[in-house]
Amino acid sequence: MNFIKNMFTKQYATYDYENIDLTRIPKHVAIIMDGNGRWAKKRGLPRTAGHKAGVEVLRDVIRTSSQLGIKYLSLYAFSTENWKRPQDEVNALMQLLVIYLRKEVQELHENNVKIHIIGDIDRLPENARMEIRSAFELTQNNDGLIVNIALNYGGRSEIIQAIKEISRQVKNNELEIESIDEQMFSRFLYTAGMPDPDLLIRPSGELRISNFLLWQIAYSEFWFSDIFWPDFSGKHLIEAIIDYQKRDRRYGGVK
């Protein structure tokens, strides 16, 4: 802990790092990476420039998460609704995914990070699927930070798919209806075996969930910021966690 603390104090010399409690770090942090297009527009740049800048943020956020001891980091990269965007923008996003994985996966692997994809990737281009499979295979035995990259992901779609699979198993007498409860239902989601997010972060000034992890965030703490994603950093992640640590999480009970 002292090593981590000294390292971060040096990295963020102007930030009051002493306010964070390293014994109360959230296990699972989810981030809606938003604001790339508006960041670019504000600078008179094409939207693709914003997406490129947003990708550069990932290294710092993942490194900070790993060093803090966060166990799961879920990143909303491409939703089921994002297919409605102009085709050239969608193509650019898919190419950025390929470039990012090729460039970063070895370093992620060397730092014990495990890449996990949540969402239906069958619709993604073949080269993107190949890079995803390669990243998964390379990092699958790592036991450090697990990075969930949400691609072609939608919370409603995830729930519907879970219901269909449960229904199929009930129909085939593989599952008793009476055995269906919240814990069992969670095993049919993309995040099966993972704790629900403790903290959901959304930069960019929007105050929506945008169909992200709808089942899993039932009791998550939310942290919103006006910062566009390309301007986000490990410093802001620390700021969100400090704010999270000030909250009294009662889960519907009374303390």
pLDDT for residue 254:
61
Over residues 39-48, the mean pLDDT reads 96
Q: Is the pLDDT of residue 59 over 90?
A: yes
pLDDT band at 251, cuts 50/70/90?
low
221-224 and 199-202 beta bridge pairing: parallel
Helical pair 47-68 and 87-110, crossing angle rounded to 10 deg:
20
Dump pLDDT digits (tens) for 84-108.
999 999 999 999 999 999 999 999 9
Dump pLDDT digits (tens) for 143-152.
999 999 999 9
Q: Which CATH superfamily is domain 26-154+197-245 in?
A: Decaprenyl diphosphate synthase-like (3.40.1180.10)
| Residues forming beta bridges with residue 223, ordered by sequence position | 201
Positions marked catalytic: 34, 82
The residue among 121, 118, 119, 115 whose CA lies nearest residue 141 is 115
Binding residues for Mg(2+): 34, 221
pLDDT band at 196, cuts 50/70/90?
very high
Task: Tell me the pLDDT of the chain averaged across its residues.
Answer: 92
Over residues 163-185, the mean pLDDT reads 97
What percent of the chain is modeled with pLDDT above 70?
Answer: 91
Binding residues for substrate: 35-39, 47, 51, 79-81, 83, 85, 202, 208-210
CB neighbour burial string for 19-50, b if at least 16 within 10 angstroms, e if fewer: ebeeeebbebbbbbbbbbbbbbeeeeeebbbb
114-118 and 146-153 beta bridge pairing: parallel
The residue among 209, 176, 201 whose CA lies nearest residue 70 is 201
Residue 86 CB contacts under 8 Å (≥ 6 apart), including other chains: none
Dump pLDDT digits (tens) for 120-154.
999 999 999 999 999 999 999 999 999 999 999 99
Binding residues: 34-39, 47, 51, 79-81, 83, 85, 202, 208-210, 221
